[in-house]
Amino acid sequence: MTDDAIPRGLGGEAIAAAAREVFAERGYHGASIRDIAKRAGLSLSAMYYWHASKQDLLAAMLTAGHHEYLEACTAALDAAGPDPADRLVALVRATVSYRVRRRVESLIAAQEWRNLDPVHAEPLVASRQALTRLWARIVEEGVRAGAFDCPHPEDARRSIQAACNAISQWYDPAGDVSEPELEQRYADIALRIVEHRGG
Amino acid sequence: MTDDAIPRGLGGEAIAAAAREVFAERGYHGASIRDIAKRAGLSLSAMYYWHASKQDLLAAMLTAGHHEYLEACTAALDAAGPDPADRLVALVRATVSYRVRRRVESLIAAQEWRNLDPVHAEPLVASRQALTRLWARIVEEGVRAGAFDCPHPEDARRSIQAACNAISQWYDPAGDVSEPELEQRYADIALRIVEHRGG
Amino acid sequence: MTDDAIPRGLGGEAIAAAAREVFAERGYHGASIRDIAKRAGLSLSAMYYWHASKQDLLAAMLTAGHHEYLEACTAALDAAGPDPADRLVALVRATVSYRVRRRVESLIAAQEWRNLDPVHAEPLVASRQALTRLWARIVEEGVRAGAFDCPHPEDARRSIQAACNAISQWYDPAGDVSEPELEQRYADIALRIVEHRGG
Amino acid sequence: MTDDAIPRGLGGEAIAAAAREVFAERGYHGASIRDIAKRAGLSLSAMYYWHASKQDLLAAMLTAGHHEYLEACTAALDAAGPDPADRLVALVRATVSYRVRRRVESLIAAQEWRNLDPVHAEPLVASRQALTRLWARIVEEGVRAGAFDCPHPEDARRSIQAACNAISQWYDPAGDVSEPELEQRYADIALRIVEHRGG
DNA sequence: CATGAATGAGTATTCATTCAT
DNA sequence: TATGAATGAATACTCATTCAT
């Protein structure tokens, strides 16, 4: 009945959309399942057909979002060559793109992560750590290869990720910066942070 | 021979400390006033002697924290000379220092800000925006003076702040990076982000 | 072989009956929703399925009672002819009858009216005032027609209504005065108050 | 420390006045001792110097009011001669006068009587019943003496009292009916209710 | 006479969840 | 698939009252 991913079907989609909105507006604890059901145009009990619990609903959202981001990252890396700078830029672009495209999900993921109970969180935590190690390895390789002049790779990596992640907090889709332009800007910032010696 | 009862008249501080802990652990909505009172070693109603509401408690915390940070920033700027790079570094150091010294308050401020109702939030929002403009002006002046080679000052500023603010999420006081060393590292990162042409 | 559990779906009526009793015994503020739920044999939260709030519960009671009384009055007037004395007697009889039949509701209406918040009270106030004007018009017409010798019609009207309304305060259903007899007595009193010149 | 009557002295008077207002506005249960203290301009604890409990405060008010009314009634009867009509009129005038002069206290007495716990209520109940018997005896004597043509003396008495008591519900001190005029009107109404055969 | 600080029981209300249909 | 009805535990908050000073 409940699955890791958000279930497809009319009710399921409506619930997913409503949950996204309400979690974003009020946070996990501030959101009530009644509000979500009302927003979705369904009865309270219908919710429980699609999701076993409020936790399950949150977990489904975070899992779906995480997997989408993960795929975007691996696709970007597959398309990039072996050059560390290219690979770092690929990750930055994928991240910026996701933070812009999935602004709301990104904010929820950033804020409500800690409200996942261990059972639901565990599979995500592992995957997330793997992703972090991937970022770290790319920076380290760039340093080792002499492409980056970076005394503290771990802080550089953290700074780059923080800058990219923050985008969903302030980005205004109606603003005048296009998404590709934004990718370019943050790619440049990332390369400056690692002090890339461009060829 | 310490006494675990709260001495009469000191309830206010016990509550503030307890609230800090519990808000940090569970978030504003996840924290119950009962929990906070219990942690403070006081009765539920003692809470309401010191604070008119849960909102008021949160507002008091955020306000106190904000003012402390604000003062640290202005003190740092007063001590710095007129050079834009010096001023930017002063702000970065003050921020890193505060994020490390007041890790918990910083996390709460970052996460629970939105749970402040407008009445309590308004005075803080104004002060916060002023601070942001201060950061922005420093970066812009550096660019105008030719000290920073920075095509997108606004994104640079946002990246620097995001990197500094993220510190409270991962910093481990028991780790092996000293606070002054961390200040130095993030000052360097900031100067790289704005592409400072050092002397 | 009666079952003391409330059958599913009939909770609304059980609550209404319990509320009537408890409001009557302790007054609106003195009555706790817990008491009402317990008396109804339902859980506290079942109350909130049927009524949005304690206010709503009170408003529902007062509204239902008011409408029943209103209908009794209009029916009585429709049955009465055009003669002012007949019409006054019709209103008195309808009122006495209602005060006896719905003793408890009458007491609650008299005492708890002011505890209705404006939102709930407004629709009732209008209807109530219309009813008062109806009483007033009948007395005035009797005076104008020379049927009543009544120097201060407004005070007469108030006295009659006060006398009738007070019945629910002292009437004992187990006493030895029948309801029709009581109607007759108060009709006579009313006619004396307006100094009716019988034909 | 607490006495039957409202204590004299600055604090005591302020509390009595504040209690009168707040009880009138919100009813006994709806009024909080905090509100009363605030309105009186005193601290919460000062209240407890003057009155042992909220009950005591209510009891003091009701007792004081009752005694004042009682004295007005006996004074009026003493001044009246032996004629039943004169005596009835004396009681009506005393009652109307009191209901107008002490409008607020009258309303509180009418509504909050039942919130007195038995311990505080008992002495008042006895005195109150004596007063009711006094009214009843006067009407009965009038009937026996042939001065009143009154088939149901008990209902007549109840109607007269109800009419008089209701005055405090609608009387507007700023209105255009003077108090003596009102006394006259209700004396007339009372005499009509008992069908007095005037000389 | 009066206060500031504290309490424990109680308030209305909301919550996630379940059950019978 | 979906619902209307119900629940029990929890929530923020208020209450009358007390105590040390």
Domains of chain A and any CATH numbers:
10-193 (1.10.357.10)
Q: D101 phi and psi, to 5 degrees?
A: -65, -40
From first CA to last CA, the distance across chain C in angstroms is: 59
Closest chain A C-alpha to B30 CA, distance in angstroms: 6
Residue D178, both tokens: 């003077």
The pLDDT of residue D171 is above 90: yes
**Token pair of A119 as six digits:** 């059972």
Q: How confident is the model at residue A4 (pLDDT cuts 50, 70, 90)?
A: very low
By percentage, how much of chain B surpasses pLDDT 90?
A: 92
Does the pTM of the predicted model rise above 0.85? yes
For residue B9, say whether its CB is under 7 Å from any atom of strand F.
no
Q: How far apart are CA D138 and CA D190, in angstroms?
A: 12
Q: Please state at what angle helix A103-112 crosses helix A153-170, rounded to 10 degrees.
A: 120
Name the E strands within A24-119: none
Token pair of B117 as six digits: 């109702």
Radius of gyration of chain A (CA): 19
Instruction: Tell me the one-letter amino acid at D178.
Output: S
Q: Give the chain D residue whose CA is nearest to the CA of C196.
A: D192
List pLDDT tens digits, range D3-14.
445 555 677 888
Site of tokens 């800000």: B113
How many Å does it take to go from CA B44 to C1' F13?
10
Dig out the tokens for A169 from the structure: 């907090």
* pLDDT on residue C5: 65
Subunit partners of chain D (3 or more CB pairs within 8 A): C
The answer to whether the Cβ–Cβ distance between B193 and A193 falls below 8 Å is yes
Average pLDDT of every residue of chain B: 94
Task: For residue C11, give the nucleotide whose C1' atom is nearest its CA.
Answer: F5
To the nearest whole angstrom, how far is the Cα of B8 from the nearest Cα of chain A?
A: 34
Dihedral of CA atoms C139, C145, C150, C155 in degrees, nearest 10, equals: 20
Q: Which pLDDT score, from 0 to 100, does residue B1 have? A: 31
Q: Which amino acid is at B191?
A: L
CA distance D193 to chain C (A): 6
Nucleotide nearest to C30 (CA to C1'): E11
Interface test with B, best of A104, A159, A177, A183 (most B CBs within 10 A): A159
Binning chain B into helix, strand and coil, the percentages to the nearest 5 are: 75, 0, 25
Helical axes D153-170 vs D84-101, angle rounded to 10°? 20
CA distance A17 to A127: 24
Contact call for residues D27 and D111 (beta carbons, < 8 A) = yes
pLDDT tens digits along D137-161? 999 999 999 999 999 999 999 999 9
Do B37 and B18 form a contact (C-beta atoms < 8 A)? Answer: yes
> Looking at strand F, which nucleotides approach a protein CB closer than 7 A?
1-20
For residue A159, give the nearest of D96, B135, B186 by alpha carbon: B186
Residue C38 (CA) to nucleotide F3 (C1'), in angstroms, measures 27
Segments of chain B with pLDDT less than 70: 1-5, 198-199
- Provide the 3-class DSSP secondary structure of residue D41: coil
- Asked if A78 and A71 touch (Cβ cutoff 8 Å), the reply is no
The residue behind tokens 């030895």 is C176
CB contact under 8 A, C111 and D115: no
Question: Cβ of A162 and B166 within 8 Å?
Answer: yes
CB-nearest to D27 from C29, C152, C165 is C29
Chain B residues within 8 A of A96 when measuring between CB atoms: none
Q: In this predicted model, what pLDDT tens digit does every residue of B110-145 receive, in sequence order?
A: 999 999 999 999 999 999 999 999 999 999 999 999
Q: Looking at chain D, which residue has its C-alpha nearest residue C154?
A: D185
With a CB cutoff of 8 Å and minimum separation 6, the contacts of B7 are none
- For residues D148 and D84, give the distance between their C-alpha atoms in angstroms, rounded to a whole number: 9
Amino acid C167 reads I
Q: Which residues contact A103 (CB under 8 A, 6 or more apart)?
A: A168, A171, A173
pLDDT band at C199 (very low <50, low <70, confident <90, very high): low
Q: What are D72-108's pLDDT values in tens digits?
A: 999 999 999 999 999 999 999 999 999 999 999 999 9
Helix axes C118-144, C54-79, angle to 10 degrees: 20
- Give, as one character, the DSSP assignment of residue B177: -
CB contact (8 A) between residue A163 and residue B158: yes
User: What's the pLDDT score for residue D4?
Assistant: 45
Does strand F come within 7 Å of the CB of D44? yes
Q: Which two tokens stand for residue B83?
A: 């050079």
Q: Enumerate the residues of chain C whose CB falls inside 8 A of the CB of residue D30.
A: 29, 115
Cα gap A78→A98, rounded to integer Å:
17
Cα distance from A64 to chain B (closest Cα, Å)? Answer: 23
CB nearest to A162's CB, from B114, B163, B188 = B163
Q: Where are the alpha helices (DSSP H) in A80-117?
A: 84-101, 103-112
The residue with tokens 């309808």 is: C94
Phi and psi torsions of B151, nearest 5°: -70, -30
Is strand F in 7 Å reach of the CB of A49?
yes
Q: Do the chains contact at D165 and C163, CB–CB below 8 Å?
A: no
